Amino acid sequence: MANQRLIYGFHALNVRLWQNPKSITGLYIQEGRQDARTREVLEKAAAENVPVHFADAARLAAIAKGARHQGVAGFIDASKNHVHLEDVLENLREPALLLVLDGITDPHNLGACLRTADAMGVHAVIAPKDKSAGLNATVSKVACGAAETVPYITVTNLARTLRELKEYGIWVIGTDMGGETDLYHAKLPESIAWVMGSEGAGMRRLTREHCDMLVSVPMFGTVESMNVSVTAGMVLGETRRQRMLNAG
């Protein structure tokens, strides 16, 4: 199956079982396991008519390609998880909060960003199809279930997508050390798409040119940069803080 994708670990599989069980084409459980988490997975799989296969440790390790699978792995039909950006934007019940990742190629960074996005109530994470880490088993494991709950939308032309966001009244704000203001002095607009570049190269030139504002994150120590997921947590947390203050 062209759209088949591996996931493993209890967090990723449990979220998938509860959120989108019909997308699971098969579960593999390490034979002999009797712990509570395994029983919970088996009971939910049976209730949702998800095919379950038992495998010995060697076979399960091969299925999970040597990753720390915790005794559970599965395959999903990724085509049943596809979400369009327009669907997200047209069904919002609050001002948009989006995270745009430009040039994030490390699956661990992507997984951590998705986990942060879920914690901060981000409505969707957007990334270009090229030069970006796609969803895979490593991303799902690091995201601890967030890869199954936060829409991850890949687009062929990021610059055009940023222009479309503006048509919805969403401000496109990039993070950059040379920003015209810093995070703690910026008066943030209601609807925001935060744009993050890679730790080394930052945003691409065309992406930067489509930003309405550039905001820096103050550094008070000796390090010169932070991991993208840490920066995402800081700007998203400040966004939520300002929204709560504005709401009284």
Contact 180/174 with Cβ under 8 angstroms? no
What is the three-state SS of 171-190?
EEEEECCCCCEECCCCCCCC
Does 244 count as an annotated binding residue?
Answer: no
As given in the structure block, the two tokens for residue 238 are 């400040």
Does 226 count as an annotated binding residue?
Answer: yes
Strand ordering across the sheet containing 192-197:
152-155, 124-128, 97-102, 192-197, 171-175, 213-216, 181-182
As given in the structure block, the two tokens for residue 61 are 């390790």
List the binding residues.
197, 226
Annotated binding site for S-adenosyl-L-methionine: 197, 226
